[in-house]
Every structure is written in structure tokens, then in C-alpha cells.
Amino acid sequence: MALSGARFRTLSWAAQFLAYKRPSWKCTSCKTLRPTSITLPRRFATAAPTKKPYYVTTPIFYVNAAPHVGHLYTMIIADILKRWRTLCGDTDAQLLTGTDEHGMKIQQAALAAGMDTQAFCDMNCKTFEALAKVANLDHNYFIRTTEPAHRESVQYFWEMLSHRGYIYTDKHEGWYSVSDETFYPQSQVHNSLDPTTGRKRMVSAETGKEVEWSSETNYHFRLSAFQDRLLELYKTGFITPSNYATDVVKSVASGLQDLSISRPAERLSWGIPVPGDETQTIYVWLDALVNYLTKAGYPFPPGQEGNLGWPADVHVVGKDIVRFHCVYWPAFLMALDLPVPRNVLVHGHWTINHEKMSKSTGNVVNPFFSLDRFGVDTMRFFLAYQGGLAGDADYDNAYIIRDYKKLLQSGIGNLVLRAIGSSKGKLPSYIASGHSGELPAANEHDSQFEQLLKETPVKVAERMDSLNSRAALQDIMALVEQGNKYIHVSEPWKNADKAPRILYNVAESLRIAGILLQPFMPTKSKELLDVLRVDNSRRTFSAAALGSDAEYGEGMKKTVLFPPLIVEQ
């Protein structure tokens, strides 16, 4: 039966989302300033306005150490969001990832390795580029903060902040964490014992990283001026999931101190110099956050910030960098009257034996080993299905094997074999009959399963609209699970009269699931749709509705989509 009405309802959310625009923030203290005399760098030419692409970002990753499975998870979540928008027709959707190559951590790591700092960055950057490639990321650009274009963007951004009166010099004292690249007040540090050496040390209460007392004169940003505007921003659902917003709101409501945004060059030389003051280096987090603008073509010709995607639709970040993305970053943008990102999607950490992964204790997971051992799509599936957004998730090879066997082998793989085997070559005729509405009458089991077929794409779209890719994937797999139960209970091999409707519904469940799984498992979902002989032109979200395709199924052969894992220990 054709369900064009249902299909159009599933797409209505997309039109509403794209039509929505957050109000831009206006800095009242800057309205009386004279127009800036700062000129745009020559690399940015004016162009006719175009539709704003959907724009997703990962954080840029520090190159001081090798990537771990947490980096892979962040990449995959962002990639799923980008691929989903492409599936829904946003063919110009953009995904940015890259590396953060400035700051004291990099400077010290290169020194410890006995390498030139740029050579050290060039070497380690390749590892993250390789991870993005191996994980099958559909990214549009891989940015490096050592790029000349980024340096131009950061220095222009600084000059604009200074021009508007948001930067001043002052003496700064506090506890500084090299690892976190940030200062902490006395209230956020405490004494701790190093578990490996037994040495007493001061650490950040938030991250557990060691801090040292520092006193220096540097540049400050008037962060305190943005308290009210930030609190208003948080009311819009800026932070997802909402549980992370609670601590941010509490912190900002308690008062904001101005932010130190430079370091003396004698202490930190590896970074972007402050324009007009070579004795100071721009704070690595101010430098790093501007990367999202660099990719979008900043500084923007007037009225054309949307040409390459700004404002970002989603910043995907780990919970340890929420403050930088949800407090500092929007405040910087507000100071320049630039649109703030539409959402910051925060995710939890991966743990081992419910303990945080740590390079110092050796309990980290090499993502290249995991991808090689279990396969790219298996790892993408596991991380997306089990990964924590509102909280942490525990990593174990046994869990990957469990999910592979239960959900992929016995779930999708088993349903494909049962559908093709039970149809005995007649499935194309059942599909044609189903599309034309000429199937046998439905019983209670048929009606219930058909309702699930209608509802699932709508539910998945709603989940993805709220940036909950985990729940979306679980809805898809619930359809597969019910498909297996449905064919088992209905027993089409015992009832030739009822078989056409049963096997048509099962085929539709596989086709719909295959379409919806494309952002999560690009390779395996393609294999599934190829087995079903679904035409490439009918693999978009708009086709993921019951009865929307009458021309698949011809020449299907039994195929083992998920063979046994070679290593199961």
C-alpha cells in the first residue's frame, strides 16, 4: 500500500529546522563605536550570497599524543550527523575535523621527543588524518591550526576584540594546568597524591590534572560582561543533552571572571603571536576555537557569513571541554556580534572497568587496532549504539563481540537470510503486489508490524533532529528485532496464502532499515541494499516509507552480511 502522506510527514521536520534561525546577539556597548578600519585579508573575495550549508564540527584534537577510542567516538558521532543531513537531501552539508597544534603541551611534547616542533606536529597530525580516513569519515576539510589561513583568522579575530574594547592587560595569578591549558581558581584545585609516585601535588578538581602556581602579566578578555547574555542563550537549548547545561548555568550564574587570553612568549613560544606584541602568545583555546570560523571563511564579507556554513549547526564535543565551547566561545562571538553556534552536542567518556581511560595508567584503547580487528562498520555501530551522550559508557572487547553476534549476525544478517530463503524467488512479485495494494488481508500481527514500519522512520527523524543518534540507532535495531519476531510467529513457510503479505512486510523492514542505517554503517548498509537490489536513486530518507518502492528484489541471492568474527576472545 502506498503511504505518500506518511512520507511527507516524516520530512516536515527538516523544512522546519532549516527555516528556523536563532536571533543574532547584539553587543549594546559596541553600538556607538565607529566603523572598524580593519581590512579583510586578501584571501577572502566577496561573492553572491548562497544557501547556508548544514555545518557540523568535531573538536580539533591535540597532537601531543596518539588518538584513542574517545577521539574515534567523537569523529563518528559528528560523521553520523553530517551523513544524516546528506541522506535527507542536504547534499552540501559540511563536516570539519582537524588538529590543534599550538600550546604548551605541544611545545613540551616536542621537546621531550627531541624534535623540531613543526616537524613533531607534521608527524602526529598524520595519525589523526589516518584515523579519519580509516573510520570512513565523510569530512569536507581537515584543518590544522598551524595553517597560514588560520593564523590570519585568529589575528584578525584578536584585532576585532581589541578594537571593540574587550581586551586589556593586567597581572594574572592562579593555578595553571599545562595539560588542560587553562587557569583554575583556588576553589577548583586541591591536594592529591600521584598514584604512580606517591608525590603530593595540586590538581584540578574538574580534570584531575596537575596544576602549578603562575604569576604573569598578560592580556585579558572581558568575559564578565557576558554573564546575562550567556544565561539567556542557555534557555534556548544551546547545550544538548540538557543535563550538561545544569552545571554550566550554575557556574555562570555564580559570576564570571575575566579570562586570561595570552601567555608570555618567553614561556610559551609555540603559538600565534599577539598582533603588535611579539612578547605575548595568544591563548591556545582562543586560537583553537577560531578554527570553526576559519573553515567557514572568516573574516566574512558583509552579510555572507553563511556562505560556507556559519553559524555551525552542531559542535560535537566531549564533556571535558564544555566550558570552553559553552562559555568562552559564545562570549567571544557575542563580543563581535557574530552568530553563535546553534547547538553544542556533548557526549560522555569511554571508560574501562568503569574507570576513566588514562595514558599514564595504560588503560587506553588504540582505535586502529579495534578498527582492524572488528571492522570499521562494526566499530562505528558499537560506539554509536552503546556510547554515552548523557553519561559515560564502558568499553570492552566482549561487549563488541556480544553486540556483533546478537544485533548484526542474528539480527540483520539472520533476517536477510530468512526473508530470501522463505520467498523461494517470489519476493519481487510480493513487492509488486504490496506496492499496488493487492496483498492478502492483514491479521493482527500484520497490522501491528506495519504500524511499526510506518512509525520507525518518523521516530528516527525526530531522534536525529534532537541530535540523539544513539536513540535513533536503537529505534532502527528495534525494527530489525521485531522483524525477526514477526517472521518467526507468522511462519510464512507454512501458509502459502499469507506468505505474500508477511514476506513483503519483512522485505520492507530490511529496505527501510538499510536506508536509515546508512549514516551509521555506510559500507554494510550499502551491502544490504545491494542484496535487496534497491536502486541507488531510491536510497534517500524520502524513500524510507512503507510502500514507496515497487522495483527492488529482482535477482536476490542469499548473502552472509556478517560472517563470524575471526578472533573472538
| CATH code where residue 472 lies | 1.10.730.10
Task: Verify that 388 and 412 share a domain, yes or no.
Answer: no
Judge contact between 370 and 134, C-beta under 8 A. Answer: no
Same domain for 199 and 322, yes or no, is: yes
3-state secondary structure 424-435: CCCHHHHHHHHH
158 contacts: CB under 8 Å, gap ≥ 6: 167, 274, 275, 282, 286
Look at residue 472 in the predicted model and tell me its pLDDT.
98
Regarding whether 262 and 405 lie in a shared domain, the answer is: no
374 Cβ partners below 8 Å, 6+ apart? Answer: 382, 400, 404, 565
Q: How many CB atoms lie within 10 A of CB 361?
A: 12
Task: Give the residue from 349, 367, 393 where a domain finishes.
Answer: 393
Q: How do strand 141-144 and strand 200-204 relate by DSSP bridges?
A: unpaired
Q: Give the DSSP H or E segment for 372.
A: helix 367-374
- Joined together, the cell numbers standing for residue 220 give 585579558
Q: Is residue 562 part of a domain?
A: no
Residues 384, 405 within the same domain? no
Task: Please give the backbone phi and psi of residue 352, each rounded to the nearest 5 degrees, phi first.
Answer: -125, 125
The reply to whether 80 and 222 lie within a common domain is yes
Domain count, the chain: 2
The per-residue pLDDT for range 249-281, each reduced to its tens digit, is: 999 999 999 999 999 999 899 999 999 999 999
Does residue 492 belong to any structural domain of this protein?
A: yes
Residue type at 295?
K
CB 316 within 8 A of CB 339: no
* Enclosing domain of residue 505: 397-543
* Phi/psi of residue 144, nearest 5 degrees: -125, 135
Q: Would you state the pLDDT for residue 9? A: 29
What pLDDT, on a 0 to 100 scale, did the predictor assign at position 101? 97
Verify that 358 and 438 share a domain, yes or no. no
Q: Same domain for 336 and 257?
A: yes
The answer to whether residue 101 is domain-embedded is: yes
**Do 364 and 411 belong to one domain?**
no
Please name which of 542, 546, 453, 464 lies closest in space to residue 88, comparing C-alpha atoms.
Answer: 542
**387 and 485 together in one domain:** no
The Cα–Cα gap between 345 and 73 comes to: 13
What pLDDT is stored for residue 192 in this prediction?
A: 76
Taking alpha carbons only, the member of 57, 129, 141, 51 closest to residue 91 is 51
- 508-535 tens-digit pLDDT: 999 999 999 999 999 999 999 999 999 9
Statement to judge: residues 388 and 404 lie in one domain = no
Which helix (H) or strand (E) element contains residue 217? strand 212-221
CB 236 within 8 A of CB 22: yes
- The mean pLDDT values, 10 residues at a time, for the chain of 569 residues are 32 33 33 32 42 96 93 98 97 97 92 95 97 98 98 98 96 69 68 70 73 82 98 98 96 95 93 96 96 96 88 97 97 97 97 79 87 97 96 95 98 96 92 90 96 98 98 98 97 92 97 98 98 97 96 93 78
Q: What is the CATH number of the domain that holds 230?
A: 3.40.50.620
